[in-house]
Structure formats: structure tokens, C-alpha cells
């Protein structure tokens, strides 16, 4: 069983807060970005790599590759998975990735979305996705930073 410490939804993927605050708090030594677009974009990968300390490895996998290889992770890998959307997380869970807890960190506001916290905005598609994740037994916690008190995502749906 892979040692997945946490999975985070953050539409910015790896940035200072993820690369330093969350990684240190979790004790992660590997950040896995599961995103089809970034898996093909070396420039974005290089920019994200710059945020992380040298002691933390990175992988930039498509959703399917994540599903295919996550169970092959070594025990010594303390994995922090970062996804862009709740739909990406649902794809991983339905594909067999053993994800049981998700931190909903940042989902930007845009036209058609309802802002439910200062950093999370959702639309009907997101609500349905979170309902499915909840039905699959995934704990959904809204929290910007580790020392902030979390909020149950389902209380907003």
C-alpha cells in the first residue's frame, strides 16, 4: 500500500504554500502532481520544482499514469498528491488510488461558481463530484494551511 500522506486540491498545484508549508507539515519527501496538462509541460514542471526544497522529489504524472503506478511506490516514499480539480481526484479514486482524505485548499472563483469560503468556489459539477467522493468514503476537509481549523466540505453542499 503506498504511503499517501494527503491529497490536496489546489488549482495552483505547487506554489509556496504547498511547496513549503504543507510539505514540511506532512513530512513528505515526494510531491506527486497528478494532472494531464502539467505532465506534458516541462516549463511548468521546472517552475514548480523550484518551489520545493532539494530534499523533496517530484513526479508529474497524468491521471492514468498515477493510477497505473501508485501501488508500486516504495515504502520510503511519503507521498503528497496534488490535483487541480475535484474531478481529477475522483478519477484517481475510481481508478483504484487509495485516497481516503482530501484537503480542499484552493479553487478559484470564476463565472458560474459560488464562493463558499475565502479560497474555495464551487459549481454544480463540483458539488456532484464532492458528493461522489463522500459516498466513496473520502474525507473532505477545507483548509488553506495546516494550522487552520478545517471545515467539513459536505457542510457546504
Catalytic residues: 15
Instruction: Report the C-alpha dihedral over residues 21, 6, 125, 45, rounded to 10 degrees.
Output: 60
Rounded CA-CA distance 91/94 in Å is: 5
* Cα–Cα distance, 82 to 19 (Å, whole number): 10
Alpha carbon 90 to its chain centroid, in Å, reads 11
DSSP-assigned beta bridge partners for residue 140: 102
* The dihedral formed by the CA atoms of 131, 82, 1 and 138, expressed in degrees to the nearest 10: -10
Closest C-alpha among 21, 1, 3 to residue 77: 3
Handedness of CA 21, 153, 30, 87 (dihedral sign): negative
Query: Rounded to an integer, what distance in angstroms lies between the CA atom of residue 127 and that of residue 108?
Result: 15
Amino acid at each position: 500500500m503506498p504511503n499517501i500522506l494527503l491529497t490536496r486540491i489546489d488549482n495552483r498545484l505547487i506554489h509556496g504554500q504547498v511547496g513549503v508549508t504543507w510539505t514540511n507539515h506532512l513530512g513528505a519527501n515526494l510531491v506527486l502532481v497528478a494532472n494531464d496538462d502539467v505532465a506534458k509541460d516541462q516549463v511548468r514542471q521546472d517552475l514548480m520544482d523550484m518551489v520545493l526544497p532539494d530534499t523533496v522529489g517530484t513526479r508529474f504524472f497524468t491521471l492514468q499514469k498515477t493510477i497505473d503506478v501508485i501501488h508500486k511506490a516504495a515504502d520510503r516514499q511519503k507521498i503528497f498528491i496534488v490535483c487541480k480539480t475535484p474531478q481529477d481526484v475522483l478519477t484517481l479514486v475510481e481508478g483504484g488510488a487509495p485516497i481516503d482524505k482530501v484537503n480542499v485548499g484552493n479553487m478559484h472563483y470564476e463565472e458560474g461558481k459560488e464562493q463558499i469560503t475565502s479560497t474555495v468556489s464551487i459549481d454544480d459539477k463540483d458539488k456532484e463530484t464532492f458528493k461522489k467522493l463522500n459516498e466513496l468514503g473520502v474525507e473532505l476537509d477545507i483548509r488553506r494551511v495546516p494550522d487552520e481549523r478545517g471545515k467539513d466540505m459536505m457542510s457546504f453542499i
